[in-house]
Amino acid sequence: MTPSPALRRRTTQILAILKRTYPEAHCALHFTTPLELLIATILSAQCTDERVNQVTPALFARCPDATSLAAISQNELEKIIHSTGFYRAKARSLRSCAASLVANHQGKVPRTMEALHKLAGVGRKTANVVLGNAFGLAEGVVVDTHVGRLSRRMGLTRHLDPVKVESALVRLIPKEDWTLVSHLLIAHGRKRCMARNPNCAQCELKKLCPQRGV
């Protein structure tokens, strides 16, 4: 559905305020290469970015490339990533993903949604994180629980399904802001619009936000 002009105007104002409020908003996962970001994002499922950042230095030192990650034993990898939760499944995904990178992409991370999506453990959200933050390619908007919650509260969408939330956001937000908007919403979700007890009274967006479901 095409968004109304009023909703477009309101979204533009919300974006402007969020940019002013969070000028430092950026990807919270630590990485220096596309492969490191891909690994960190797979590990971040059901885990905080802070916890992932504690684990990845040792992992990146032990497995500096896709070849070494594909070759590490399941047991050793599970021990390194244990504290991120779901470590057995994550270790399987990481090893399998690395093996595909070696077999099909010369050990490099591909730069398309289609190729990323075929890798083990990589869904649309992970692919969007990597494309937007490692390659500067805006294919879509990363929708995690924070982005979904804030988008609904602000009346940008009514959908619960992350794919439908993303679809609503890409219609409302200029392409050059697709990567940034999720960092802005996550920052605002941490500071003001928490899952429980959002601080609407002091919120920078209170005049623009319908506070749906709050």
Can you give the binding site for ligand SF4, defined by CB under 6 A?
A: 153-154, 192-193, 198-200, 203, 205-206, 209, 211, 214
Minimum distance of ligand SF4 from residue 2's CB (angstroms): 24
Task: Give the three-class secondary structure for 192.
Answer: coil
Q: Rounded to the nearest whole angstrom, what is the least distance from the CB of residue 214 to ligand SF4 in the complex?
A: 5
Nearer to ligand SF4, 10 or 125 (CB): 10
Q: How many CB atoms lie within 10 A of CB 129?
A: 24
- The active-site residue out of 19, 118, 144, 164 is 144
Clarify whether 108 is annotated catalytic. no
| The one catalytic residue among 125, 175, 191, 206 | 125
Could you tell me the sign of the dihedral formed by the alpha carbons of 128, 130, 135, 136, in that order?
A: positive
User: Among this protein's residues, is 144 annotated catalytic?
Assistant: yes
Considering the complex, state which of residue 97 and residue 181 has its C-beta at the smaller distance from ligand SF4: 181
- Asked if 27 and 183 touch (Cβ cutoff 8 Å), the reply is yes
CA–CA distance, 165 with 187 (Å, rounded to integer): 18
What is the DSSP-derived secondary structure letter of residue 107? T
Shortest CA distance to 152 belongs to which of 201, 206, 210, 207?
Answer: 210
Looking at residue 4, the DSSP 8-state letter turns out to be: P
CB of 39 to ligand SF4, least distance (A): 32
H/E stretch holding 38: helix 34-43
For residues 18 and 77, which CB has a smaller minimum distance to ligand SF4 in the complex? 18
Q: How far is the CB of 144 from ligand SF4 (least distance, A)?
A: 16
Question: Residue 24 and residue 17: Cα distance in Å, rounded?
Answer: 13
Of 70 and 143, the one with the shorter C-beta distance to ligand SF4 is 143
Q: Which positions are catalytic?
A: 125, 144
